[in-house]
Amino acid sequence: MNCERIQECFIDYQSGTLPTADAAQIRNHLKSCLTCQREWSGLQETLLKLDRLPTPVPSGRMAAQFYAWLEEEQRTADAPNPFAIARSRLDALIASWLPARPLFQAAAGLALLLGGIWAGSHLLNEQPSPQPTPSAAEARLLAEVSDLRNRVDSMGQFVAYSLQQQQSGNRRLQGVLTTLDRSETNDRVLAELLNTLAFDPSTNVRLCALEALYPHVGRDEVRAGVLAALPREASPLVQVAMIDFVAAARDHAAAPALEELTRSLSIDKAVRDAARRALVQL
């Protein structure tokens, strides 16, 4: 080994992690090489001083804050989460849609993912910050929001919208989900849901609106509303869901619209297939 190689091994030599043969080589070299001797002693002194630096000890404030935060987290985790109820419904619904619908599995995954993110941001907003200074709490929240944005961005292949839209989308989603838990739904709510289904820019919100309409699939005006929104719908995910919706109701009025879809070459093949299957069902 030359001097340079010898000196590169000094750290390992000092900490005793060098193989015995290498260590012996270094020991021998040090006996005869003045340059390396100087390097070695300078390095040893540096390491000695470095290791003598005191270990920083945190104040009691840190532990107190941590345990206050942990307690709060546990309380939140133990409390029944209203969103979990809605999500389990969504789960059940999607499961009922599932037979031979790979596209829908993707939709289900997306819906749950968005749901999870929504729940996360929701809980985050509600959770009291363990920080005593509002500015630190704010910075933390900002950090988490930007984190959230990154996660949304990473799903860009599915749904691309900005954080701003995402937030307002969350609010809209929340609105739709609350209707899921209502026992009776009046006409005004149904009209709002149909409006959401037709015009909301978020695929996820439209899917949820459609789910909320499912209990009312027997009503003519609901099926008519869904059928009216179908030609305007751009997302294959929602298109397939709408087709399943009218097929589930065995609504013969849907046949012309479905036939139209099977003939259209500009739409997704999965949608055309779904329309064809639905026609058989009718």
Partner 1 sequence: MLAVRAGDLARLGDLFERHQQPLYGFFVRITGQRTASEDLVQLVFYRILKYRHTYRDEGKFSAWIYHLARKVAADHFRKHTSKAARDVEPEVVEALPDHSPKPDEKAARNDDLALMQSALSQLPDEQREVLVLHRFQNLRHDEIARLLDCSVGAVKVRAHRALATLRDVYFRLRRERLA
Of 36 and 240, CB closest to Zn ion = 36
Cα angle at 247 between 243 and 249, to 5 degrees?
Answer: 125
Site string for partner 1, 120-149 (x = CB under 8 A): x---------xx----x--xx--x------
Tokens found for residue 211 = 């789910």
Concatenate the DSSP letters of all residues of 74-131 into one string: HHHHHS--HHHHHHHHHHHHHHHH-TT-HHHHHHHHHHHHHHHHHHHHHHHHHSPPS-
Residues 23-62 that bind partner 1 (CB under 8 A): 42-43, 45-47, 49-59, 61-62
d(C-alpha 13, C-alpha 208), whole Å: 64
Q: How many residues bind partner 1 (CB under 8 A)?
A: 40
Of 143 and 255, CB closest to partner 1 = 143
Task: Out of 33, 119, 198, 224, name the contact with Zn ion by CB under 5 A.
Answer: 33
CB of 135 to partner 1, least distance (A): 11
Q: Which does 136 bind (CB under 5 to 8 A by kind): Zn ion, partner 1, none?
A: partner 1
Q: Is position 26 an interface residue for Zn ion (rule: CB under 5 A)?
A: no
Of 71 and 181, CB closest to partner 1 = 71
Of 57 and 280, CB closest to partner 1 = 57
Under DSSP, is residue 275 helix (H, G, I), strand (E, B) or coil?
helix
Query: From the CB of residue 164, how many other CB atoms can be counted at a distance below 10 Å?
Result: 9
Tokens found for residue 266 = 């500009």
Which stretches of the chain bind Zn ion, using CB under 5 A?
3, 33, 35-36
